[in-house]
Chain A
């Protein structure tokens, strides 16, 4: 089984394992490796947080650059898995870093609550191994999807940035649904000039019709409001 379903352009996905039990961590890492998945282990929530802070330091490229997934033991000495999860959720990292909880006996209600708060899933120990890996792969796919979306948003913004001021003005009016003639009146330019601008906008935005352009911008507008990465 390979991760063919993942877009290879996004880079190698990484599974982050946070569990205080070294034996479990190692065994899980080895299992993931047998499924051709990279993993990185952390002995505690604090260790992972420290590493994460390093990755997301200002001036560095957006993290993660590749699909990622966090397999988190719920009960650990020190900062518990649940606390770490809450911090990640607050930081809005969950879409790009889905969290799969490992729960022991009796933690099921907590885990269910966590899923409601946005965790990807929970797996009860002792787990059926390949089922866990399957869930990890699904999580990675979700992460990849989120990553894709982020990249598309990035591209749109870049294209919008390439438009001249007049082109942008024309584009706004086109999206508003005004015919070229009225746009020419509004801007006190000739219809011909409007048509040239309009063609340039279509070309730059890589669309073929006004409807397509409107859809694209609507998406970008929504993303610009939601996404923290939108600039």
Chain B
């Protein structure tokens, strides 16, 4: 899994509007598809119905024609019989009985005069309203046409009114009777069109359709089948007959295709389609979900590996300070397990076990402040980039400094839910810093020592000259006085002048030193006893290590005010260094290694004065040595200059304090004490504690 995949998992969801639009488009598409489906179905149904009507019409027309032609053949057969009158009548009557559509058969001679006629037995009052003669025009013209064509000809149809307002549409068929190539008469048959239709058409067709003969202008001549067609699916066919043409119109009883069933079908179809696609989508979604889960698991594993490999501690907390997550580096840093660190849900405020008890209140306050701040706004991540430094505690109680960088945890709704912190252990860095600082201090102390030594050497040289000159003149003067001669007074005068001169010169040297010391006084600063002692500790420890001496520092415990003083730090540090060195050296020979302890103590025994003590466990100071201890150039050591203690006393006295010594506590060893002034306005009334100041 690479990071790009992880990123794709975090892609923001499409906006609401876009989602709505998508859905609307989908629905619209579905609607259009449904409408199209229904329309097409309806159209298809209509065309099917129309086709059916057309075929019915064609079949009907063919049937009507066939019927008429059969009738024509029957008439021709009758014409061929050449029977005498009674016999012909019999044949005609039979024909009329067999064919219900035949209304009348006439025998006409060549001049179209009716020789005989037989009427149908089915209709009695056919020519009751209007005599046949009045209706003969169509038959006559048909017979004329038949004579010319020498073939049977149908006449146009005409209406025969009947009593009671009824009537029949009738068509005549004229068959010429020929014998030896010439006509001698005609057979005219009148055919009722409505009856023709009824006999020609099958029952099934007439149940569903209305059949009618119409004229060109749409006038219905005769009809059969259902009483009235729907008028939606109409087909017209022309029935071609010799001499005339009939137009057969077929009107289906079926109306417009109905919408509801089609719609229902379409809906069912659409829904099934939708269901299918939904199932498809679901399956796809399922697959993608599974892929996403795999990707997520990989991302989680990736993240976990990343967090586990970090040496930086990671810690997530909610706004109440409850820890929701820590990485192994953090656990290793503080020494608690994850289970120990996950705070129980109930307790608020939460105090993690790695807070040093002495700082708990302060940390709680800080957390409260942060909580208030978080309530107002979601903090910017870069606010926390700077980080802050604080102190944590390991499980074994060890305190260590850490650097914390915190970033707000923001959930998917943009709410600020907590903090994620990166915790850096600074103790190693601190150790290195401390080491380099100690080295620095050591260098400085050495440099200071060199400076003091150099100054002492310079001073001794500067003073040596005038003093030795003075001594010379004095000795010489004594020599002269012992053995005077004439030039003695003059020489003595000369000597005394020189002595005065040199004494003045020495005085100038002293004054310049004094000026230097005065200038140093302006360097006085306020500092704490702890700072002074700490400044000399590295060098003192260095010396102590050679002889295996332990150095103990005894300062007032933290609740008390740290003792402060105003002094020239460099000089006082030099004094402390001198005294510690003396103490360490005092223990080098006579004290067993286990008892070599040097104590540095500072305490305020007097409101205006701070007392420093340097206590060794050495053999003490012999009385004859003690008497000369502060004499310049007095030393008990082969390599000593004998300046240390006298210089120390000078320095302390310049500060207005005093330096003295005595046996250590319990009468063992030696204690050197000196006092330094407490800065003005900082005196305390505290005089408690053992008063060992002089």
A27-B472 contact, Cβ under 8 Å, with A34-B480, A35-B479, A105-B460: yes
Assess the B473–A31 pair: CB atoms within 8 A.
yes
Assess the B465–A129 pair: CB atoms within 8 A.
no
CA distance A56 to B456 in the complex (A): 44
Assess the A34–B479 pair: CB atoms within 8 A.
yes
Assess the A129–B460 pair: CB atoms within 8 A.
no
Assess the B469–A24 pair: CB atoms within 8 A.
yes
CA distance A2 to B469 in the complex (A): 23
Assess the A30–B473 pair: CB atoms within 8 A.
yes
Assess the A30–B498 pair: CB atoms within 8 A.
yes
Assess the B472–A129 pair: CB atoms within 8 A.
yes
B477-528 at interface with A (beta carbon < 8 Å): 477, 479-480, 482-483, 491, 494-495, 498, 502, 505
CA distance A33 to B480 in the complex (A): 9
CA distance A146 to B460 in the complex (A): 39
Determine if B22 is an interface residue (Cβ-Cβ < 8 Å): no
> Nearest Cβ in chain B — how far from A102, in angstroms?
10
Complex interface: chain B residues within 8 A of A21 (CB): 465
The one of B464, B468, B479, B494 in contact with A130, judged by C-beta atoms closer than 8 angstroms, is B479
Determine if B467 is an interface residue (Cβ-Cβ < 8 Å): yes
CA distance A105 to B505 in the complex (A): 21
Assess the A30–B465 pair: CB atoms within 8 A.
no
Assess the B477–A34 pair: CB atoms within 8 A.
yes
CA distance A127 to B476 in the complex (A): 13
A31-B479 contact, Cβ under 8 Å, with A24-B469, A126-B471: yes
Complex interface: chain A residues within 8 A of B479 (CB): 1, 31, 34-35, 130
Classify the secondary structure of B's interface with A: helix
Most buried by B among A1, A2, A125, A129: A129
Complex interface: chain B residues within 8 A of A130 (CB): 475, 479
> Nearest Cβ in chain B — how far from A104, in angstroms?
8
Assess the A26–B469 pair: CB atoms within 8 A.
yes
Determine if B466 is an interface residue (Cβ-Cβ < 8 Å): yes
Assess the B465–A23 pair: CB atoms within 8 A.
yes
Determine if A28 is an interface residue (Cβ-Cβ < 8 Å): yes
Assess the A31–B466 pair: CB atoms within 8 A.
no
Complex interface: chain A residues within 8 A of B471 (CB): 126, 129
Interface membership of chain A positions 30-58, coded 1 if the CB is closer than 8 angstroms to chain B and 0 otherwise: 11011100000000000000000000000
Question: In the complex, what residue of chain A is closest to B502 when comparing beta carbons?
Answer: A23
Assess the B468–A30 pair: CB atoms within 8 A.
no
Assess the B469–A23 pair: CB atoms within 8 A.
yes
A121-135 at interface with B (beta carbon < 8 Å): 125-127, 129-130
A129-B476 contact, Cβ under 8 Å, with A26-B498, A30-B498, A34-B491: yes
CA distance A21 to B461 in the complex (A): 11
Assess the A31–B476 pair: CB atoms within 8 A.
yes
Assess the B475–A129 pair: CB atoms within 8 A.
yes
Complex interface: chain B residues within 8 A of A34 (CB): 475-477, 479-480, 491, 495
CA distance A104 to B479 in the complex (A): 25
A1-36 at interface with B (beta carbon < 8 Å): 1-2, 21, 23-24, 26-28, 30-31, 33-35
A28-B472 contact, Cβ under 8 Å, with A34-B491, A130-B479: yes
Assess the A1–B473 pair: CB atoms within 8 A.
no
Interface membership of chain B positions 381-416, coded 1 if the CB is closer than 8 angstroms to chain A and 0 otherwise: 000000000000000000000000000000000000
CA distance A129 to B471 in the complex (A): 7
Q: Interface size of B by Cβ–Cβ distance < 8 Å?
A: 27
Assess the A30–B476 pair: CB atoms within 8 A.
yes
> Nearest Cβ in chain B — how far from A77, in angstroms?
14
Assess the B498–A27 pair: CB atoms within 8 A.
yes
Assess the A33–B467 pair: CB atoms within 8 A.
no
Question: In the complex, what residue of chain A is closest to B466 when comparing beta carbons?
Answer: A23
Complex interface: chain A residues within 8 A of B470 (CB): 27
CA distance A68 to B694 in the complex (A): 61
> Nearest Cβ in chain B — how far from A22, in angstroms?
10
> Nearest Cβ in chain A — how far from B563, in angstroms?
40
CA distance A31 to B473 in the complex (A): 6
Complex interface: chain B residues within 8 A of A105 (CB): 457, 460
> Nearest Cβ in chain B — how far from A137, in angstroms?
12
> Nearest Cβ in chain B — how far from A10, in angstroms?
22
Interface membership of chain B positions 263-279, coded 1 if the CB is closer than 8 angstroms to chain A and 0 otherwise: 00000000000000000
Assess the A125–B476 pair: CB atoms within 8 A.
no
A88-138 at interface with B (beta carbon < 8 Å): 104-105, 125-127, 129-130
Complex interface: chain A residues within 8 A of B476 (CB): 27, 30-31, 33-35, 129
Complex interface: chain A residues within 8 A of B498 (CB): 26-27, 30
Complex interface: chain B residues within 8 A of A27 (CB): 468-470, 472-473, 476, 498, 502
Most buried by A among B465, B472, B477, B491: B472
Complex interface: chain A residues within 8 A of B477 (CB): 34
Interface membership of chain B positions 192-232, coded 1 if the CB is closer than 8 angstroms to chain A and 0 otherwise: 00000000000000000000000000000000000000000
> Nearest Cβ in chain A — how far from B498, in angstroms?
7
> Nearest Cβ in chain B — how far from A24, in angstroms?
6
CA distance A128 to B670 in the complex (A): 37
CA distance A34 to B491 in the complex (A): 8
CA distance A28 to B472 in the complex (A): 6
Assess the B494–A30 pair: CB atoms within 8 A.
yes
Assess the B468–A127 pair: CB atoms within 8 A.
yes
CA distance A105 to B460 in the complex (A): 10
Complex interface: chain B residues within 8 A of A31 (CB): 472-473, 475-476, 479
> Nearest Cβ in chain A — how far from B509, in angstroms?
13
CA distance A115 to B439 in the complex (A): 45
Complex interface: chain B residues within 8 A of A24 (CB): 465, 468-469, 472
Question: In the complex, what residue of chain B is closest to A1 when comparing beta carbons?
Answer: B483
Assess the B502–A30 pair: CB atoms within 8 A.
no
CA distance A129 to B469 in the complex (A): 10
Question: In the complex, what residue of chain B is closest to A126 when comparing beta carbons?
Answer: B468
CA distance A69 to B467 in the complex (A): 25
Question: In the complex, what residue of chain A is closest to B461 when comparing beta carbons?
Answer: A104
CA distance A127 to B498 in the complex (A): 18
Most buried by B among A1, A27, A127: A27
Question: In the complex, what residue of chain A is closest to B468 when comparing beta carbons?
Answer: A126
Interface membership of chain A positions 135-179, coded 1 if the CB is closer than 8 angstroms to chain B and 0 otherwise: 000000000000000000000000000000000000000000000
> Nearest Cβ in chain A — how far from B4, in angstroms?
79
Complex interface: chain B residues within 8 A of A30 (CB): 472-473, 476, 491, 494-495, 498
> Nearest Cβ in chain A — how far from B586, in angstroms?
26
CA distance A26 to B473 in the complex (A): 9
Question: In the complex, what residue of chain B is closest to A21 when comparing beta carbons?
Answer: B465
CA distance A34 to B489 in the complex (A): 12
CA distance A178 to B472 in the complex (A): 63
CA distance A227 to B461 in the complex (A): 42
> Nearest Cβ in chain B — how far from A140, in angstroms?
16
Nearest 10 pairs of A and B residues by beta carbon: A129-B475, A34-B476, A27-B472, A27-B469, A31-B476, A34-B479, A126-B468, A31-B472, A23-B469, A34-B480
Using CB atoms and an 8 Å cutoff, list the residues of chain B in contact with chain A: 457, 460-461, 464-477, 479-480, 482-483, 491, 494-495, 498, 502, 505
Using CB atoms and an 8 Å cutoff, list the residues of chain A in contact with chain B: 1-2, 21, 23-24, 26-28, 30-31, 33-35, 104-105, 125-127, 129-130
Given contacts A27-B470, A105-B457, 18 further A-B contacts (CB under 8 A): A23-B469, A23-B505, A24-B465, A26-B498, A27-B472, A30-B472, A30-B491, A31-B472, A31-B476, A34-B479, A34-B495, A104-B464, A105-B460, A126-B471, A129-B471, A129-B472, A129-B474, A130-B475
Provide 30 A-B residue pairs closer than 8 Å at the C-beta atoms, listed in order of the A residue: A1-B482, A1-B483, A2-B483, A23-B465, A23-B466, A23-B502, A24-B465, A26-B469, A26-B498, A27-B470, A27-B472, A27-B473, A28-B472, A30-B495, A31-B472, A31-B473, A31-B476, A33-B476, A33-B491, A34-B476, A35-B479, A105-B460, A125-B468, A126-B464, A127-B468, A129-B471, A129-B472, A129-B474, A129-B476, A130-B475
